[in-house]
Chain A
Amino acid sequence: MRRTALHTKHCEAGAKMVPFAGWEMPLYYRDGATEEHRLVRRSAGLFDVSHMGTFEIAGKGSLDFLNRMITSGVHKTDVAMSGYGLLLNEQGNIIDDIFLYHTEEYLWTLVVNASNLEKDWDWLNSHRGDFDCTLTDVSEGTSLIAMQGPAVIACLEGLSGEDLSAWTRFGIKEFVLEGIPFRSGRTGYTGEDGVEIFVASEQAAALWNILLDQGGKQCEIGPCGLAARDSLRFEAGFPLYGHELNETVAPPEALLKWACDFESDFIGKSPVEELIKKGLTRKLVTFKLIDKGVAREDYEILSARGDLIGKVVSGLYAPTVDLYCGNGFVPVAFAKAGTEIGISVRGRIKKAEVVKRPLYRPAYR
């Protein structure tokens, strides 16, 4: 099991550590996942996401290469900006969902899911061919810290003494705090404003301390684990690879058509276009349970008549909206908000209803 540079910090803070994608990661700390979720919605939370992979793509051919590999029309991402995109296979299904930072004119930083790191690495390398660019896996030396919540930007202003009012969503900015340099994107996965930080691994623990201790003088802030990260992203309607996304799911089925720029020539474009033309047969939906209970992954989704129509891919209690809810793929005939469905919870059918997404509208929109 691999450990991040912040492992000792988590243990000291009383985290419950669990295996995740080959890493030992904090699931929650002393106050528990629900309180961490609420802390991020009301003020600020700090997440260690160093398990995620970081690749650098450099060289004059990097733009053309990335435009071929990533769905989102990478050429539209200016220097010092970032964006969400997908890697698709030739069948138009999702290999991974990624975040791409345009660091310098000929330098891009790609953040991939921990569980897909090797797969993505091999996929990208096998397509690099004649593109004039290099690909480097810098995951080992790079730690990733997400600082999320409505108080984060003001807190960073206090810590850095800088006016951050011109810093837009998805923009990249360099900081130095107490001699520690780090890059950060105004991005996140919680539905709150905030930043995602790249810092050299040997300085990660020191920065973590500064953000909690000095940051704690600016605003209420605390460490948060993977459980809160999951419930926060769920409410905001963000997909999690291995749940809403996998290699049998095409972007429109997962409601990610918006992440595809059909004017670009990305791998997997034609099958996705064909699917859209032909019409979808199934679609991702969010549901809420009317009979209380927790829908877990792989539980069956039934029509009101009792026919099996799909399976749950994510399910939980969502603290901010105070709902027992989940996501699943169902035939499009059942995808409309208001549709009555059933979830089979350990042999008992619980009444549920398809609801409008997202449950929680990101505060920065």
Chain B
Amino acid sequence: MLIKYAKSHEWAVKSGDLYLCGLSNYAQEKVGDIVFVELPEVGKTVKQGEPFGVIESVKAANDVYSPLNGEIVEANQKLEDEPELVNSSPLGEGWICKIKMSDSSFDNLMNEEEYKAFQEEQDD
């Protein structure tokens, strides 16, 4: 399955008619222990690159940005009680939401290789 990444460190992957989204492994490592996730609102129209949720780490609140244009169809309610899943399984159980994409904005995202190069740039 093709996974793509936004510059703001969210990932998206096609899952049936929808796209599954979450925070990248690189980003969860950077923010440290996640203690709360303010989930995107189901039914809300979201725009690529605009904040749609908040990840609270031990020391700070970090905005999470929508990787796609579309509508939030589902949010991962499990994160309400277990926000640490974003740390332990950022690409699996720690997914944040499902989006019904309204256009082809997925194509604007970076593939795995491009994202890796982008991370190295960030670390320099």
Q: How many residues of A contact B (CB 8 A)?
A: 17
Q: Which of A16, A27, A33, A292 contacts B80 (CB 8 A)?
A: A292
Minimum C-beta distance from A178 to chain B (A):
34
Contacts of A32 in B (CB 8 A): 32-33, 58, 87
Overall SS of chain A's interface: mixed
Complex Cα–Cα for A316 and B84 (A) = 15
- A317 beta carbon closer than 8 Å to chain B: yes
Taking a contact as CB atoms under 8 Å apart, the answer to whether B58 and A292 are in contact is no
- B54 beta carbon closer than 8 Å to chain A: yes
Residue of A nearest to B38 (CB): A293
| CB within 8 Å for A34 and B58 given contacts A28-B32, A294-B35, A317-B35 | yes
| CB within 8 Å for A317 and B58 given contacts A28-B32, A28-B33, A32-B32 | yes
Taking a contact as CB atoms under 8 Å apart, the answer to whether B33 and A292 are in contact is no
Range, interface on chain B: 10 to 19
Overall SS of chain B's interface: mixed
Taking a contact as CB atoms under 8 Å apart, the answer to whether B35 and A27 are in contact is no
Residue of B nearest to A34 (CB): B33
Would you list which residues of chain A between 1 and 49 have a CB under 8 Å from chain B? 16, 27-28, 32-35
Taking a contact as CB atoms under 8 Å apart, the answer to whether B35 and A34 are in contact is yes
Give 1 or 0 for each of A129-142: 1 = CB within 8 Å of chain B CB: 00000000000000
Taking a contact as CB atoms under 8 Å apart, the answer to whether B36 and A294 are in contact is yes
- B3 beta carbon closer than 8 Å to chain A: no
Complex Cα–Cα for A249 and B61 (A) = 27
Give 1 or 0 for each of A92-123: 1 = CB within 8 Å of chain B CB: 00000000000000000000000000000000
Q: Which of B38, B54, B58, B60 contacts A33 (CB 8 A)?
A: B58
Taking a contact as CB atoms under 8 Å apart, the answer to whether A316 and B58 are in contact is yes
Residue of A nearest to B60 (CB): A296
Residue of B nearest to A35 (CB): B33
Complex Cα–Cα for A294 and B56 (A) = 7
Residue of A nearest to B80 (CB): A292
A-B contact pairs, 21 of them (CB 8 A): A16-B32, A27-B58, A27-B59, A32-B32, A32-B33, A32-B58, A32-B87, A33-B33, A34-B33, A34-B35, A227-B58, A227-B59, A294-B35, A294-B36, A294-B61, A296-B60, A296-B61, A316-B35, A316-B58, A317-B58, A324-B36
Residues of A within 8 A of B (CB): 16, 27-28, 32-35, 227, 231, 292-294, 296, 316-317, 324, 346
